[in-house]
């Protein structure tokens, strides 16, 4: 139980850190991210919590991809 709790907290922190440079602004990201975690706060089943963590990890990968793609596109436009 407690290890899962730490996993959830860790991924939440990671997401918040990533959200600092979100294109629509940090407040936009933070409220939505917080709401998404709050929605699932009542989960008690281990398997379900794990699914939630996986989903968060997926979102994290997507955001990282979004950032590197925007950066790549900006650089490509400027320097070819």
Partner 1 sequence: MTSLRILVPIKRAIDYAVRPRVNAAQTAVETAGVRHSMNPFDEISVEEAVLLREKHSPKTVEDIVAVSIGPPKTVEALRTAMAIGCDRSVHVEIPEKADMLEPLQAAKILKQVVDREKPNLIIMGKQSIDDDFSQTGQMLAGLLGWGQAYGASEISVDGDTLTVKREVEGGTDVVKGKLPMVVMADLRLNTPRFATLPNIMKAKKKKIDKLKLEDFKERAENRLKTLKVAEPPTRQGGGKVENVDGLISKLKELGAL
Contact residues for partner 1 (CB under 8 A)?
10, 13-14, 17-18, 21, 64, 67-68, 70-72, 74-76, 78-79
Nearer to partner 1, 3 or 76 (CB): 76
* Structure-block tokens of residue 22: 């979100």
User: If you search the block for the tokens 């991924």, which residue do you land on?
Assistant: 11
Rounded to the nearest whole angstrom, what is the least distance from the CB of residue 62 to partner 1 in the complex? Answer: 12
Nearer to partner 1, 23 or 38 (CB): 23
* Structure-block tokens of residue 76: 């490509």
Using an 8 Å Cβ cutoff, are 3 and 50 in contact? no
């Amino acid at each position: 139980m407690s290890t899962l709790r730490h996993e959830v907290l860790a991924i939440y922190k990671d997401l918040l850190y990533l959200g600092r440079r979100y294109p629509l602004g940090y407040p936009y990201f933070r409220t939505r991210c917080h709401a998404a975690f709050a929605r699932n706060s009542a989960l008690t089943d281990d398997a379900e919590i794990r699914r939630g963590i996986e989903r968060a990890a997926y979102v994290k990968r997507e955001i990282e991809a979004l950032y590197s793609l925007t950066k790549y596109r900006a650089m490509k436009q400027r320097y070819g």
